[in-house]
Amino acid sequence: MSGTSPALQPPADALTPVRHPDAPAPGEPLGSHYAECFGCGDGRPHGLRLQARAGEGVSVTAEFTVRPAHQGAPGLAHGGVLATALDETLGSLNWLLRTIAVTGRLETDFQRPVPVGTTLHLEAEVTAVSGRKIYSTATGRIGGPDGPVAVRADALFVEVKVEHFVEHGREEEIRAAMDDPDQVRRVRAFEVNP
Ligand SMILES: CCCCCCCCCCCCCCCC(=O)SCCNC(=O)CCNC(=O)[C@H](O)C(C)(C)COP(=O)(O)OP(=O)(O)OC[C@H]1O[C@@H](n2cnc3c(N)ncnc32)[C@H](O)[C@@H]1OP(=O)(O)O
């Protein structure tokens, strides 16, 4: 069973998403937006280290291999970890729009169990934009990029200013992020708003 609540239905006057002219070319890796991010950073030993690549239009692909640290039931991925993989993949779409946005709502369907050692092949795309609201959808397949869907999600991201993080984040991490020597991450974090 899968379904989407009315909160995730774009309004009738929603716009078709437009890829930013400076977005990475299809196939290019997006890199990490923050080294300590549990989804995409390489600073967290048990993090997902998900690597997303730009696709056509406003879409991305990504892979995540389930490790023992990601178990819920014995030998199987924890559902919350799989939701994180979907959330991270969906969140990376905003880089193609050059928008900073946070997850407002994430609805996930778990359709097949995902064993440890499995690589989840993720695909996501923005379907509509309405003001600050960005509507998107994602699937995670197992057994290959064309394998059966194990998990899927629909989401609403809400555009925010960089002040969202400065106001709400802990000061020491904010300072460290601002001092990050990695130019790509700094650009993604601080220069995405026009
Ligand atoms: C210095 C260091 C910088 C670092 C720079 C890093 C940059 C790159 C970081 C990216 C990180 C990615 C990581 C993965 C993605 C996460 O996991 S993000 C983390 C999880 N999400 C959060 O923490 C968000 C927490 N929630 C909030 O902060 C606020 O509720 C929100 C979402 C910003 C919305 O609050 P708001 O700005 O006051 O907006 P609000 O007026 O309430 O809503 C705006 C519209 O959205 C709708 N809406 C809001 N929430 C919902 C909802 N839950 N359901 C349905 N509709 C909703 C409203 O109805 C409204 O619609 P309209 O009236 O315009 O039609």
The CB of 105 under 6 Å from ligand 1? The reply is: yes
pLDDT tens digits along 123-173: 999 999 999 999 999 999 999 999 999 999 999 999 999 999 999 999 999
Residue 1 pLDDT exceeds 50:
no
Residue 28 pLDDT exceeds 80:
yes
Q: Which residue in 103, 105, 107, 106 sits closest to 164, CA to CA?
A: 103
End-to-end CA distance of the chain: 41
Q: What is the mean pLDDT of the chain?
A: 93
Domain chopping of the chain, boundaries? 25-190
The CB of 104 under 6 Å from ligand 1? The reply is: yes
Atom 17, ligand 1: residue with shortest CA distance: 103
Beta strands in the chain (DSSP E): 51-54, 59-65, 101-110, 119-130, 133-141, 149-159
Mutation pick for ligand 1 pocket among 97, 158, 160, 193 (CB with most ligand atoms within 8 Å):
158
Tell me what pLDDT residue 129 has. 98
Cα 111 from Cα 89, distance rounded (Å): 18
Q: Which CATH superfamily is domain 25-190 in?
A: Hotdog Thioesterase (3.10.129.10)
Residue 185 pLDDT exceeds 80:
no
Tell me what pLDDT residue 3 has. 58
Distance 101 CA to ligand 1 centre (A): 7
CB 110 within 8 A of CB 143: no
The CB of 177 under 6 Å from ligand 1? The reply is: yes
Tell me what pLDDT residue 155 has. 98
Helix 183-190 with 171-178: angle, nearest 10 deg? 120
